A and B are shown apart, each in its own frame.
Chain A
Amino acid sequence: MVSTEYYVMLSAILFTIGVTGVLTRRNALVVFMSVELMLNSANLALVSFARQWAQVDGQILTFFVITVAAAEVAVGLALLVGIFRTRQTTNVDEVNTMHG
């Protein structure tokens, strides 16, 4: 049986890759995907803690995180489509004003 520490460390590695992706990439869609990667790494930590204590609560929380991620992706991609319509770009550096 693989110890919980290894799973949490793998989760931390994935989270770090996601953070680096958010900070270095300029394409808004790839930034979004990096956010999904971070959510996913948090889910992995939750599920490994659920196994550590043999409780189902961590898996339930993961279930809710997946739900919220689906909602967030729908709204976020709609926002990106709206931004692209007015500014013709998905580069996060060029989207620097509040009004359309």
Chain B
Amino acid sequence: MELVLFLITALVTVGAAIAMVLSHNAVHSALWLVLNFFGVAVLYLLLNAPFLAMIQITVYAGAIMVLFLFVIMLLGSEKGQEEVNGLPWQTPVALVLGLVLLGIAGYAIFGANQPALPVAADGAGEYGRPESLARALFSTYLLPFEVAGVLLLVALVGAVVLTLKSRQGERA
């Protein structure tokens, strides 16, 4: 049962990712990526991470992709600029290199000389609950947590500064 759910979700996720790369309209790409994020959220639920699944939907599929769609429509860059390809030889090379990367990863994961992983822990453990996540976040990982807050503040200020029109008009 779980394997069937995993296979369906994996197919949807990979299909959405491929459609994202292949679609010519940037808005369609963004919507396929939202589907991909939802699929990964379902996989998080299967992996005993319900809190991360909700974070994935609210932050990734909600906030980040809305920002993407907003900028795509603001710039009007959803189509028309794909015809100009300055490096046409790059596409086949990229495909070959991608397949090589996939082959290396597959060998590293399923290769003959890999020691077998011990059987995974029971999915109903304590570790995946929001409570234990919060306990680790506010004790062991308190400093990274604070640094992440500062990082978000810096990103916010940086984004405002970058998009601000200069008053003296020295910007070209």
Contacts and interface: CB of A to CB of B under 8 A. Distances in A.
9 contacts: A12-B105, A14-B17, A30-B26, A36-B33, A54-B125, A57-B136, A59-B128, A77-B159, A80-B71
Interface majority SS on B: helix, strand, loop or mixed? helix
Contacts of A21: 20-21
Interface bracket on B: 35 or more
B54 to A, nearest CB: 11
B85 A26 contact: yes
A91 to B, nearest CB: 5
A86 B71 CA distance: 16
B29 to A, nearest CB: 5
A33 B68 contact: yes
Interface residues of A, number: 74
Nearest to B10: A10
B106 interface: yes
Majority SS at the chain A contact face:
helix
Given A25-B21, A30-B26, A94 B68 contact: no
Contacts of B20: 17, 21, 30, 33-34, 37
Nearest to A71: B155
A75 B127 CA distance: 34
A10 B13 contact: yes
A58 to B, nearest CB: 9
A77 B85 contact: no
A37 B123 contact: no
